[in-house]
Structure 1
Amino acid sequence: MIFSRKRAGGGRHAHDERATEVLDSYDAEETPTTPSRGPYDISEAPDDVQRLDLGSLHIPAVPEVEVRVQADPQGVIQQVVLVHGENALQLGVFAAPRSEGIWDEVREEIRQSLFADGAAAQETQGEYGTELHARVRTQDGITDLRFVGVDGPRWMVRGVYQGAAATDPAAAGPLRQCMDGLVVDRGQEAKPVREPLPLRLPREVAEQAEQAGGAPAPAPREA
């Protein structure tokens, strides 16, 4: 795991199916089965997977995937990016209402923002439901982005793919494994809709960083 510290001052895929399975299980007065893929709510996640605990997000340990986080001096994480080769996946997790998902609204706001900046964006159906594909201009030239969203119980995960995975989902490889193995710990505290859920460095990593004056430090891979 690599991280940097800022200076001071500085539609949930397949969930219709899963919901039906859970309701059927309750009707039969049985314990609901664990979904075959995530992102999972912490209440339904399999417990036999090694994960990095970042607070509201628990990221599965996948070989050759590097976890990069940017944190403030207090260890509060501002950004999480998973990297594999030339591909990257930026992750965010947000509060959502109990009654409905927010990805449709968030996706439309992203599309309008991109359009206002002169970037082309179009919706397409993908493995997580409706996705947003965009082509933006950066300092490094034209960059393709693929926005995916997964609505869960009172939370939403947003992922942004870059690299070949932005135009070819099959190229995501291990990054897709990470997305499918994510666990969200929403907590019970009331939060405004769309507010980012809190992310933090594991205590031992934050302590190492404090001792090293903000230099990169290794992180444990287990939950």
Structure 2
Amino acid sequence: MFGRRRKENRRAESPDPAEEAEQVPARESGPWDADEPHSARERVDLGGLRLPVDPGFEIQLTVEGDRISGAVILSQESALQVQALAAPKRNGIWDEVRAEVAGAVKNAGGTCEERQGPFGAELDARIPGEDGTPQPIRYLGIDGPRWLLRAAISGRAALDAEVAATLENVIRDIVVVRGDGPMAPHEPIELRLPAEARQAMGQQEPGRPDLKPFERGPEIAETR
């Protein structure tokens, strides 16, 4: 009787490995998953991404064909480009994406060096501009629950730590909405215009879309 009780106690004290694998440690700062507790500050709802609003920001959307795949936040002579990608449930993809980015930079005639930044491993790159002058750009990646937030900081913020801090705080306050549907790893999480922007564009004369529908806060424009 006593032996069976000890065996049952050991079984109760030893957690199921499958249950341990499902546990995801709570993160202390963003970017946040939509299902995680996060601040209720004002954000632009782009579907797959919710971006923090600030009067000094201008937000542009990156369009690939008919699909909105990313967003660019302009502030203080700098740009923060963000894109959310689907990832497997069990492991992140930033390591392999970072290697792909490094290869693409070198193929374009640029250079890059891996270093540790506020979000972990990142790439400090120099890419030839239109006049051949090397342009600084930082590539960052943050693995979340079944997603990767990929970011690139360029312009003044790529060299000025104080300006960079503003955009780094933007990254910390982004909310990623992965959704429950099946997606292939590396597939971009699709974005959409906010409801008020779609309504404003629908009221424009044909052939003259207004890509700055907000009276205050960020401006939304399309880049192709």
The TM tier, using the shorter chain, reads 0.7 to 0.9
Counterpart pick for 1:217 among 207, 212, 216: 212
Q: Which whole-Å CA distance do the structure 2 matches of 1:139 and 1:118 have between them?
A: 12
CA gap of 1:196–1:72, structure 2 versus 1, over 3 A, is closer
Amino acid at match of 1:85: Q
| Match of residue 89 from structure 2 | 98
Deviation, 1:91, is 0.5
Counterpart pick for 1:109 among 75, 80, 100: 100
Deviation, 1:43, is 1.0
Task: Provide TM-score, normalisation by structure 1.
Answer: 0.77
RMSD: 2.6
Please give the secondary structure, in 2, of the residue aligned with 1:82: strand
Runs of 4+ in structure 1 over 6 Å off: none
Q: Which whole-Å CA distance do the structure 2 matches of 1:162 and 1:182 have between them?
A: 18
CA gap of 1:167–1:187, structure 2 versus 1, over 3 A, is same
| Match of residue 46 from structure 1 | 38
Deviation, 1:71, is 4.7
Counterpart pick for 1:129 among 120, 126, 144: 120
Q: Do residues 160 (structure 1) and 145 (structure 2) align?
A: no
Q: Map 1:1-223 onto structure 2 (within 5 A).
A: 35-71=27-63, 76-139=67-130, 141-212=133-204, 213-219=208-214
**What is the identity percentage for the equivalent residue pairs of Structure 1 and Structure 2?**
34
Report the more deviating stretch, 182-191 or 108-117: 108-117
- Give the aligned length: 192
Q: Which whole-Å CA distance do the structure 1 matches of 2:34 and 2:217 have between them?
A: 18
Task: Provide TM-score, normalisation by structure 2.
Answer: 0.77
Unaligned runs of 5+ in 1: 1-25
Deviation, 1:70, is 4.2
CA gap of 1:188–1:71, structure 2 versus 1, over 3 A, is same
Deviation, 1:84, is 0.7
8 Å CA contact 1:132–1:148 kept in 2: the answer is yes
Unaligned runs of 5+ in 2: 1-18, 219-224
